Amino acid sequence: MTEPLVSRMRAFGTTIFAEMSALAVQTGAINLGQGFPDTDGPAAMLDRAVQAITSGANQYPPGPGVLELRQAVSEHRMAQYRLDYDPAGEVLVTVGATEAIAASVLALCEPGDEVIAFEPYYDSYAASIALAQARLAAVTLRPVNGRFTFDPDELRAAVTPRTRAILVNSPHNPTGTVFTRDELTVIAELCQEHGLIAITDEVYEHLTFDGVEHVPLATLPGMRERTVMISSAGKTFSVTGWKTGWVCAPPELVRAVSTVKQFLTFTASAPWQLAVAYGLRTELEWVAALRAGLQDKRDRLMDGLAAAGFEVLRPSGTYFVQTDIRPLGFEDGLEFTRRLPELAGVVAIPTQVFYDHPERGSHFVRFAFCKKDEVIDEAVTRLKRLSQG
Ligand SMILES: *Cc1c(COP(=O)(O)O)cnc(C)c1O
């Protein structure tokens, strides 16, 4: 049979995560590749999910999501950011942020439209844009004084008459950059000047370090009306398997995204929605402790990686730290990470797979620190073999 997969999806065969996680299992290596925590979310929130199931929340919830969750999301936006979203019409519950991103791109982009995203980018962006038959225009983030950022002139130059939207992920996976108000202002001005829609991926909104605050793009002047703001419970509450996310936007944008979303999944699972509503209302202290704990884990892994001979770039948020492998005598991160299980018994992710211009990220390797301290310590002990020849 000829290749059954549609041509626009052929570049998206198996993800690097599948390859590297399989390698971890095969070799018994410690997996600091995929970004999921190895501890559970708040116990009372888990109980709330069980209770939701045993008390009958098991049939289709309303298409826009369970009202209780839409209300909790709305209250949370107001308390955190002074952003006012009406639970009736301006909040849509989705199957994780992933579905929210896909539905937004499919709803808002015509074939041939261009979507700007910063590379390295989260892998679902390119696939969603390809599904919409739109085109991704990648603007490269590069380290400046140890922090990944963009050149405003390069961003401006990426806008063409076909540009429809800009996808903004802050805190940014995989670089750990949290965009500053100045950086967001450059983006906001460009959106307003060219009538662009902003689609923001804010799944790490609570996971920032060193007192750095997350600023939602929608809080900048003139931006609420043109921003599709996306977040999710997975990272905030360490429940990445729950796949419960949401979109906040003005009614006409939410209506557009809902129109597509209803035919992708119709609605998201009911029990998780009730539990996440509970989490947003009662577990933000738990989240603050998670964030402090993650900062310690970041420091623990950064110190260990530096001692093992990597050049380490300090992230201000997320689960991830970027390293430069050249001080260890390696040039290519893909080759390095394929050999790392055998060299040191650890799995990591080559950052180049998140670029349209892989040569710009060839020497970067991403490690996840959302793991138990003893797992990080053992990984670091093993990685020190690299410089002991
Ligand atoms: C984890 C992650 C997502 C996916 O979130 P889900 O709610 O699990 O779909 C989206 N964007 C980024 C940047 C992520 O790291």
* pLDDT tens column, 241-253: 999 999 999 999 9
Q: Lowest-pLDDT range, 20-34, 125-139, 360-374?
A: 20-34
Closest CA to 49 of 269, 206, 232: 269
Q: Which of 16, 73, 232 to mutate to test the pocket of ligand 1 (most atoms within 8 A of CB)?
A: 232
Quickly state the pLDDT bin for 387 (edges 50, 70, 90). confident
Quickly state the pLDDT bin for 389 (edges 50, 70, 90). low
pLDDT value of residue 115: 98
pLDDT at 352 > cutoff 80: yes
pLDDT at 170 > cutoff 90: yes
pLDDT at 137 > cutoff 70: yes
Ligand 1 proximity of 172 Cβ (cutoff 6 Å): no
Q: What is the mean pLDDT of residues 25-43?
A: 94
Q: What is the mean pLDDT of residues 165-170?
A: 98
Ligand 1 proximity of 98 Cβ (cutoff 6 Å): yes
Ligand 1 proximity of 205 Cβ (cutoff 6 Å): no
Collapsing DSSP to helix, strand or coil, 322 comes out as strand
Q: What is the mean pLDDT of residues 286-297?
A: 98
Q: Relative to the CA of 240, which ligand 1 atom is closest?
A: 8
Q: What is the mean pLDDT of residues 342-364?
A: 96
Ligand 1 proximity of 245 Cβ (cutoff 6 Å): yes
pLDDT at 16 > cutoff 90: no
pLDDT value of residue 83: 98
Q: Relative to the CA of 122, which ligand 1 atom is closest?
A: 13
pLDDT at 201 > cutoff 90: yes
Percent of the chain whose pLDDT exceeds 70: 100
d(CA 101, ligand 1 centre) in Å: 9
Read off the pLDDT of residues 319-328 as tens digits, 9 standing for 90 and up: 999 999 999 9
Which stretches within 82-199 are classed as H helix? 96-108, 123-131, 152-158, 181-194
d(CA 243, ligand 1 centre) in Å: 9
d(CA 246, ligand 1 centre) in Å: 11
d(CA 270, ligand 1 centre) in Å: 20
Q: What residue owns the CA closest to ligand 1's atom 7?
A: 96
d(CA 102, ligand 1 centre) in Å: 12
Read off the pLDDT of residues 67-85 as tens digits, 9 standing for 90 and up: 999 999 999 999 999 999 9
Percent of the chain whose pLDDT exceeds 90: 95
Read off the pLDDT of residues 97-114 as tens digits, 9 standing for 90 and up: 999 999 999 999 999 999
Q: Which of 201, 273, 294, 351 to mutate to test the pocket of ligand 1 (most atoms within 8 A of CB)?
A: 201
d(CA 343, ligand 1 centre) in Å: 30
pLDDT at 1 > cutoff 90: no
